[in-house]
Amino acid sequence: MSGKNRFGLVLLGLLALIDVASPLTTDGDHPPMSIAIGAAVAGLTSLVLVGYAWRGKRGAVAPLITLRLASALLAVPAFFASGVPTAAVVAAGIGVAVTIIGVVAVLLPSRELAGAQ
């Protein structure tokens, strides 16, 4: 696993930690508690998958990416719903952008896989 792949795993792990804390940081409306609890479950699962991926278990990468992208999609309604605080919209935008960067970094081919020396 290359340094870029590990960087991506770190980003996805940090996002997962934020998701785990989301039920503690919501006001119940932004995001709704049901979304916050779902995000926390996805975050916990993502942390386990990050650990496996860090140890080189390639089978953990696809479900990790799927969970992180699903978590990012949970933030999309913040851009379209009325009454969402500006700070929540900005946080959602940053979260989506960091998710994309993390996923791309995890998916970059590593030197070991490409056969480069």
Say whether pLDDT at 81 is over 90.
Answer: no
Instruction: Output the six-digit token pair for 106.
Output: 């995890």
Mean per-residue pLDDT over the chain, rounded = 89
Domain boundary assignment for the chain: 3-111
Q: How many Cα atoms occupy the beta-carbon half-sphere of 47 within 13 Å?
A: 13
* pTM of the model as a whole: 0.85
Q: How would residue 117 be classed by pLDDT, with cut points 50, 70 and 90?
A: very low
Report residue 55's pLDDT band, with 50, 70 and 90 as the boundaries.
Answer: very high
Structure tokens at 77: 């309604």
Average pLDDT over every residue of 9-18: 96
Per-residue exposure over 72-82, b if at least 16 CB sit within 10 Å of its own CB, e if not: bebbeebeeee
